[in-house]
C-alpha cells in the first residue's frame, strides 16, 4: 500500500497540482496584502476616509462605535466591509489568472501554414464526395482521373 501511494504521489500531475496549490496560497497572500494595504486605503480616502474592513451592520439592539467593540461583546454583525475586500481580492486574482491563461494560449498557438487542401472532391458523374486520391467512385463505381 505504501508503494502504491508513493507511485500515486510521484505522478507528474499530482506534483504539478501540489506546486500549484502552494504557489496559489502564496499568491493569494500577496493579493490580499495588495488589496488591504495598497488599494483599499486610497479608495477609502477617496470615498470619505472610510476603512472598508471596519464597515459592519449591527444586528443586535445595542449600539457600538467600532467593529472591534461589537465583536468583543459577541454581538451579531454583518461585516460587509470585509466581504468587499474579499470580493476585490477575488476579482484581482481572477483577472491575473485570465491574463496568464490568455498569454499561455497565445504562446501555444500554431503558426498558420496557409490554407488546408480539401480531403475530398466531387465525383463528376454522381456528384458524391470521394477522396482526393481515389481512382474509382465508391457510390457509382465510375473510374476517376487521379487528382
Q: Are 125 and 110 in contact (CB under 8 A)?
A: no
Burial class (CB in 10 A: 0-12, 13-18, 19+), 29: exposed
Closest CA relative to residue 40, chosen from 78, 85, 9, 8 = 85
Closest CA relative to residue 31, chosen from 21, 39, 41, 43 = 39
Ordered per-residue pLDDT tens for the chain, 147 residues: 888 877 777 776 777 788 888 888 888 888 888 887 888 788 878 877 777 778 888 888 888 888 888 888 888 888 888 888 888 888 887 887 888 888 888 887 766 666 788 888 998 888 899 988 888 888 888 888 876
pLDDT for residue 110: 66
| pTM for the full predicted model | 0.52
Q: Are 135 and 124 in contact (CB under 8 A)?
A: no
Q: What is the DSSP letter of 37?
A: I
Contacts of 59 (CB under 8 A, 6+ apart): 75, 76, 77, 78
The full set of domains in the chain, from first to last, is: 7-109 (1.10.1200.120), 116-147 (no CATH)
Contacts of 121 (CB under 8 A, 6+ apart): 129, 130, 131, 132, 147
User: Which residue is listed with cell 504557489?
Assistant: 23
Amino acid at each position: 500500500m505504501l508503494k502504491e501511494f508513493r507511485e500515486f504521489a510521484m505522478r507528474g500531475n499530482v506534483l504539478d497540482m501540489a506546486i500549484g496549490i502552494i504557489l496559489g496560497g502564496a499568491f493569494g497572500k500577496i493579493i490580499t496584502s495588495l488589496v488591504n494595504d495598497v488599494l483599499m486605503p486610497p479608495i477609502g480616502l477617496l470615498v470619505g476616509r472610510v476603512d472598508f474592513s471596519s464597515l459592519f451592520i449591527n444586528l443586535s439592539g445595542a449600539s457600538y462605535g467600532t467593529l472591534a467593540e461589537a465583536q468583543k461583546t459577541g454581538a451579531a454583525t454583518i461585516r460587509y466591509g470585509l466581504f468587499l475586500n474579499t470580493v476585490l481580492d477575488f476579482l484581482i486574482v481572477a483577472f491575473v489568472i485570465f491574463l496568464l491563461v490568455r498569454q499561455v494560449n497565445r504562446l501555444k498557438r500554431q503558426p498558420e501554414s496557409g490554407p488546408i487542401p480539401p480531403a475530398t472532391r466531387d465525383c463528376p458523374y454522381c456528384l458524391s464526395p470521394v477522396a482526393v486520391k481515389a481512382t474509382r467512385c465508391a457510390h457509382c463505381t465510375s473510374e476517376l482521373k487521379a487528382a
